[in-house]
Amino acid sequence: MTTKQRYTHIIDWFTKNMPVAETELHYTDPFGLLVAVILSAQCTDKRVNMITPRLLADFPTPEAMAATNHEVIFEYIKSISYPNNKAKHLVGMAQKLVSDFNGVMPDDVAMLQTLPGVGRKTANVIASVVFNKPTMAVDTHVFRISERLGLTTNSKNPLQTEQELVKYIPADLIPKAHHWLILHGRYVCLARKPKCEECGITEWCRFYKLNQ
């Protein structure tokens, strides 16, 4: 089986079996999503969704968050991982959005990465989810699943994985494919013990073939 054939079969399966694939982070606008994604680093979406309603009710806009300080934000997010750093990132991100972008979320990945707390993965998430751009965010799930399935070969880092995935996945499907891989990794292809008996794509999975 060629790499292209593997991609075709797996994409076809997800298209038919997971026609709706979206982020599990709760948000109502681009700013809310960016706040949630920054908070989600090394933390579960479930925990983030418990925290963001109160935080965003009191600081619903970049202007509102920019006007406070990280000590105040810390009190809202202290039950999350790395709350001190994330509080500083959130305030810094809001201040730069206001000062450099008039409070409007940029749709360019490079510009997004100028915001404090926003790396390539986060920028790709915003560009993909908010602006439907063909950007592939690679988190731990996407990195692991891509290698296991055989969509990538010996990727050394998330950037290599991203470059290989966008090479083979049609541009119009990339935003959805990001969620296919995340959700598959979150609920089926678990890190420690993948649920191969529940998986619908074992026929094209390199990991499954090697472990039979």
- CATH architecture, domain defined by 30-129: Orthogonal Bundle (1.10)
Q: Is residue 57 scored above 90 in pLDDT?
A: yes
pLDDT given at position 211: 86
The Cα 3–Cα 12 span in angstroms is 14
Model confidence at 212, pLDDT cuts 50, 70, 90, reads confident
Give the pTM. Answer: 0.89
Residues 6+ away with beta carbon under 8 Å from 13: 200, 201, 204
Tell me if 105 sits within 8 A of 126, measured CB to CB: yes
Closest CA to 52 of 68, 29, 70, 71: 29
Binding-site members for [4Fe-4S] cluster are: 189, 196, 199, 205
The Cα 54–Cα 48 span in angstroms is 11
Q: Is residue 142 scored above 90 in pLDDT?
A: yes
Q: Is residue 178 scored above 90 in pLDDT?
A: yes
Residues 6+ away with beta carbon under 8 Å from 137: 121, 122, 124, 125, 128, 162, 178
Q: Where are the domains of the chain?
A: 3-21+135-210, 30-129
pLDDT given at position 111: 96
Mean pLDDT of 142-167: 94
Q: How many CA atoms lie within 13 A of 194 on its CB side?
A: 19
- Give the count of beta carbons closer than 10 Å to the beta carbon of residue 101: 15
**Residues with catalytic roles:** 121, 139
Type of residue at 28 = T
Give tens-digit pLDDT for 86-129.
999 999 999 999 999 999 999 999 999 999 999 999 999 999 99
pLDDT given at position 154: 85
Mean pLDDT of 11-40: 95
What is the Rg, in whole angstroms, of the alpha carbon atoms belonging to the chain?
18
- CATH architecture, domain defined by 3-21+135-210: Orthogonal Bundle (1.10)
| DSSP secondary structure code for residue 204 in this structure | G
Type of residue at 16 = K
